[in-house]
Amino acid sequence: MHRLGSGIAGGRLAPAEYERNFSDLHPRFDRHEALVASDRCYFCHDAPCMTACPTAIDIPLFIRQISTANPLGAARTIFAQNILGGMCARVCPTETLCEEACVRNTAEDRPVDIGRLQRYATDIAMEQGRQFFQRAAETGKVVAVVGAGPAGLSCAHRLAMNGHSVVIFDAREKAGGLNEYGIATYKAPDDFAQKEVDYLLAIGGIEIRTGMALGRDFSLQDLIADYDAVFLGLGLAGVNALGLEGEDLAGVDDAVDFIAFLRQAHNKADVPIGRRVVVLGGGMTAIDAAIQAKLLGAEEVTICYRRGKEHMNASEYEQDLAASKGVTIRHWLAPKRVLGKDGEVAGIELEYTALRDGHLVGTGETGVIAADQIFKAIGQSFKASGLGALAMERGRIVVDEHCRSSMERVYAGGDCVNRGEDLTVSAVAHGRDAADAIHLAFASAGQPAVAVA
C-alpha cells in the first residue's frame, strides 16, 4: 500500500469542474426574483440599513425603484453615493453591514437581500452602458490620485464629475486595485473589475498611468509640485510574516499572492495547489484562500486560527461558506514551526492556545498537521516610501473626517488611513468624501475671503 501522494500541482480537476467552481457564487436575480425580494423591504424611516452602509446608499429608495420596475432609477440612486456599487454588491460583507441592520432580522431572522438587489440594478445599468453623471465644465484643476483601487477610482470619478481633471498612478499593470487582484475569483467573474473601471472612466477627464510606483518612479513631493491636489489611495502593500523557522521553504506563500495569481490566471488549471493545504489566519483573506484552494482540487484544507471563532475577522457567513466547501476551520492553534523535507514543506507544528487574563498564551501542548502547501494570511500592513514627512499613526496615514492629511493639498483614503474598516465600501466612501473636500477647497480658494467666512 502506498502513502497518499503529496506535492503541489495544477490540473487536479476536469475542465468542467474548474468552470463550475469558479463561476458566479450568487447568480444575479432575474426580474421576478428581484420583484419578490424587493417587496420584502419595508421602506423604513431613517433606515438602519442606510445608516449601516459606509457609503450611505439610499437603500429603501433604490429597492422601491426596483419594485416599481425601474432598475435604472435604482442604479442612479446607488451610483450617486457609490460609483463602485456594482463591485460592492458582490463583495461587501452585507451580513455585517446593511443586511445585519435590516429590521426584517428582528421579525423573521432573514434580512432583505440588499446586496443581490443592488447587483440586479447596477448590472442592468452597466450592461446597457447607462451613464448617469455628466462631467461639469472643465475647471482647469488637475488632481493626482495614487492608487487605482476602490478609493482612488471613487475619488477620481467624483472629481471628474465636478469638472476637474485627474491623473491616476498605479504600480500594477491593471487598474482596479484589490477589486482586480484581491477578490476571490467566484465573487467577481467575467472580468467584472475591468468592466467596472471602464464604466467609471467613461465619464471622461481621467487618465490612468499604470506601472508607476510611488517612491520608485515619483515622490509625493513631485506630485504636490505638479498638481493642484493629491489623493493617496495606496492600499496595504505589506504582508505580515510569521517570523518562524521554515518560513522560507518552498510551498510557503502569501495568501494575497495566491489570490491575485488565481484571479489573473486565464486557465485555472494552470494554478498549482497542494493536496494538503493549511491556511494561517482568521480574516477574509484566509477564507478566500482556503475556499479557492479547495475549489482548485486540494484534498484537505485547514484554516488554523490562533483565537476562537468569535474572534475571527471573517464574518459568520464567510465561515459557513468555507465550511460548506469542505474547509476545516480549527481554532486556538498558533503556528510554531514549518516542517520541511528536501527543502519543501511537509507540515506545520502548532501549539494550542488559550486566553488567560485577557492575554493569548500557548498551552505548551503541540502537534503537527501534515501539509504540502501553507498560505500566510495573518494580516497586511501599510508599506510605502516617498511620502516624506506625512504624519502617520499606528502605521497608517493620519486623516481627518474630510480625508485631509497632515499636509496641505494632500488627502488620503482607503486601507492606508487610520479611519474606518478595511473594506472596499469604506474605501469608496473615503475617495468620494475626499473628492468633495478637494472640490470644496478649490471652490473656497477661488472665493474672496469674506465670502468664505
Partner 1 sequence: MADLRNDFVGIKSPNPFWLASAPPTDKAYNVERAFKAGWGGVVWKTLGSEGPPVVNVNGPRYGAIWGADRRLLGFNNIELITDRPLQINLQEMKQVKMNWPDRALVASIMVPCVEEEWKAILPLVEETGADGIELNFGCPHGMSERGMGSAVGQVPEYIEMVVRWCKQYTRMPVITKLTPNITDIRNPARAAKRGGTDAVSLINTINSITSVDLDNFAPVPSVGGKGSHGGYCGPAVKPIALNMVSEIARDPETQGLPISGIGGVTTWRDAAEFLVLGAGNVQVCTAAMTYGFKIVQEMISGLSDWMDEKGHQNLDDICGRAVPNVTDWKYLNLNYVAKAHIDQDACIKCGRCHIACEDTSHQAITSMVNGVRHFEVMEDECVGCNLCVNVCPVENCITMVGLEPGTLDQRTGKIVDPTYANWTTHPNNPMAQVAAE
Chain residues in the site for partner 1 (CB under 8 A): 32, 35-36, 38-39, 42-48, 67, 103-104, 106-107
Q: How far is the CB of 46 from partner 1 (least distance, A)?
A: 6
Q: How far is the CB of 52 from partner 1 (least distance, A)?
A: 12
Read off the C-alpha cell for 4.
497518499
Choose between 67 and 179: whose C-beta lies nearer to partner 1.
67
Choose between 36 and 323: whose C-beta lies nearer to partner 1.
36
What's phi and psi for 203, nearest 5 deg?
-65, -25
Q: How far is the CB of 120 from partner 1 (least distance, A)?
A: 14
CA–CA distance, 86 with 309 (Å, rounded to integer): 30
Choose between 45 and 266: whose C-beta lies nearer to partner 1.
45
Three-class SS state of 111: coil
Choose between 66 and 437: whose C-beta lies nearer to partner 1.
66
HEC per residue, 136-174: CCCCCCEEEEECCCHHHHHHHHHHHHCCCEEEEEECCCC
Q: How far is the CB of 123 from partner 1 (least distance, A)?
A: 20
Q: How far is the CB of 104 from partner 1 (least distance, A)?
A: 7
Q: How far is the CB of 93 from partner 1 (least distance, A)?
A: 22
Choose between 34 and 384: whose C-beta lies nearer to partner 1.
34
Choose between 103 and 237: whose C-beta lies nearer to partner 1.
103
Q: How far is the CB of 92 from partner 1 (least distance, A)?
A: 22
HEC per residue, 292-326: HHHHCCCCEEEEECCCCHHHCCCCHHHHHHHHHCC
Read off the C-alpha cell for 285.
483573506
Read off the C-alpha cell for 117.
438587489
Residues with Cβ within 8 Å of 4's Cβ and at least 6 positions away in sequence, in order, are: 275, 299
∠ CA 57-58-63, rounded to 5°? 110
Three-class SS state of 341: strand
Choose between 4 and 36: whose C-beta lies nearer to partner 1.
36
